[in-house]
Amino acid sequence: MDVVGRLLALLVVLLVGTGLRTTGVLDTRRTELLNALAYYVALPALIFVSTYTRSIGDLLTPALLGGLLVVVLSTAGLAWLAHRHLDSRARRSVAIVQSYHSNLGYLGLPLVAATFDASVTAIASVVLGVVTLAQLPLTIVVLSALNGADASIRREIRGLATNLVLVSLFAGLAVGSIGVSIPSTAASGLDAVGSIALPIALLCVGASLQIDLPSVDVGATAAVVALKVGLMPVIAWTVFSALAVDSATFTASVVMLGTPTAVSTFVFANELGGDSEFASLNVFVTTLASIVTMFVLISLVS
């Protein structure tokens, strides 16, 4: 029942965010401020406190790295096959991308931190870093290639060097590997800041969700949902079971890769010639469906 309560609470906060947008409380400017607070403050704090007591050798193993790449690339390949029949290149590119591009930062890591112990959260932070480095360039390539958009992959990769989420991950791993002691008051403060990452992220996701019913492509959206929150975690379960990793690595990987489509895919679609309305709908539906699928995943791995 504790897992049910947690996930129902997530749904409530998500819907509150939608309600606040509808009533005008969370307008565009305020939503952007909340997004900035979550992404630039709360999430980096959560990642750092999750990793600063562990060395990189304890967290990043060859099995974890290889398994994550196999799952992401396998899902992307299956998505390419599943959506190849879509006539619109703009819609096909978005469908492919949203079938594998996971919401690891806003929902995945905060949810893991709220549900599992510190060892699982630490590995989930590494999962976030590895998969982000894999799925971001892949998403840019797919959208650019199918839509003929002009995007500088080199510029985006350079931008990762200043990404606070990744910087906080590398800083935490460096501190843990060197063995530097962090004052307890600083650690407690960062922990408190990190704890607000999930509710703020959910409010932002809810405030960003919009549906234009006349434009709904039920078949295409259903295929995205089936691949993202249905098949991708199954592939992750199969791959990491075969690799015989420890329970913390298995739990973190399966749950993180079972998260819904990232909100950032809407931004990429809008900038690189994708179908932005279709992208917005898929973010909403995969997030809603994940309330059920994440409950199943968390119950199974627990």
Highest mean pLDDT among 116-125, 192-201, 262-271: 116-125
- Over residues 23-37, the mean pLDDT reads 83
d(CA 106, CA 116): 16
Label residue 244 left, alpha or beta by phi (over 0 means left) and psi (-120 to 50 means alpha). Answer: left
- Over residues 167-179, the mean pLDDT reads 80
**What is residue 65's predicted lDDT score, i.e. its pLDDT?**
94
Q: How confident is the model at residue 175 (pLDDT cuts 50, 70, 90)?
A: confident
Residues linked to residue 261 through DSSP beta bridges, in sequence order:
102
- Over residues 51-55, the mean pLDDT reads 75
Label residue 273 left, alpha or beta by phi (over 0 means left) and psi (-120 to 50 means alpha). Answer: left
Tokens of 178: 């060197």
Q: How is 34-51 classified by DSSP, letter by letter?
A: HHHHIIIIIHHHHHHHHH
Please tell me the pTM assigned to this model. 0.78
| Beta carbons within 8 Å of 32's beta carbon, 6+ residues apart | none
- Over residues 19-38, the mean pLDDT reads 83
CA dihedral (255, 144, 160, 74) positive or negative: positive
pLDDT exceeds cutoff 90 at 203? no
Helices (H) and strands (E) in the chain, counts: 17, 0
**What is residue 43's predicted lDDT score, i.e. its pLDDT?**
73
Give the residue, 236 or 103, on which the prediction is more confident.
Answer: 236
- Over residues 170-193, the mean pLDDT reads 82
**What is residue 161's predicted lDDT score, i.e. its pLDDT?**
66
pLDDT exceeds cutoff 50 at 1? no
Query: Which H or E element spans position 155?
Result: helix 153-160
- Over residues 168-187, the mean pLDDT reads 81
pLDDT exceeds cutoff 60 at 292? yes
User: Lowest-pLDDT range, 41-55, 100-114, 149-163, 261-275?
Assistant: 149-163
Tokens of 200: 């703020």
pLDDT, averaged across the chain: 84
Tokens of 99: 């079938």
Give the residue, 31 or 215, on which the prediction is more confident.
Answer: 31
pLDDT exceeds cutoff 50 at 47? yes
**What is residue 221's predicted lDDT score, i.e. its pLDDT?**
93
pLDDT exceeds cutoff 80 at 302? no
- Over residues 253-282, the mean pLDDT reads 85
Helix H, strand E, coil C: the string for 100-129 is CCECHHHHHHHHHHHHCCHHHHHHHHHHHH
Closest CA to 187 of 205, 167, 204, 172: 172
Closest CA to 230 of 266, 258, 211: 258
pLDDT exceeds cutoff 60 at 269? yes
Phi, psi of 205 (to 5 degrees): -65, -45
Q: Which CATH architecture has domain 2-207+220-301?
A: Up-down Bundle (1.20)
